[in-house]
Amino acid sequence: MKEKTKRQDGFRRGAGGVFKCRGCGKQTRATNETLGFKTCPPCYEIGGMLNGLSDGNVTVAEFMATCESLKGFDAELHLDSYAQHVIKEALEWERENS
């Protein structure tokens, strides 16, 4: 049996092949950072940033800057209705508390 090997790009050979991302539906493969979450790298990062945004640890500007810097990020694909709701709520909170 062939041993699982790690590639430099983070994809893991033998880690189960291609699957549909639970966040955006895009076809992706497991990486070192997203293994077990069944998400593509942008959705994984956005999920963590959304937690920070809803907790008040990240500003909307920081959230959007991070999203824009993600390789493969597409706002229409990766910012679903829940993400848009969290952003709207955070913007309102920032306006009220500035």
26-51 tens-digit pLDDT: 888 777 666 677 888 899 899 999 99
pLDDT value, residue 40 = 86
Q: What is the mean pLDDT of residues 72-87?
A: 92
More confident residue, 34 or 73: 73
Res. 22 pLDDT band, cuts 50 70 90: confident
CA distances from 10 to 25, 32, 44, 67 (A): 20, 5, 14, 20
Res. 16 pLDDT band, cuts 50 70 90: low
Strands 18-20, 5-6: pairing kind: unpaired
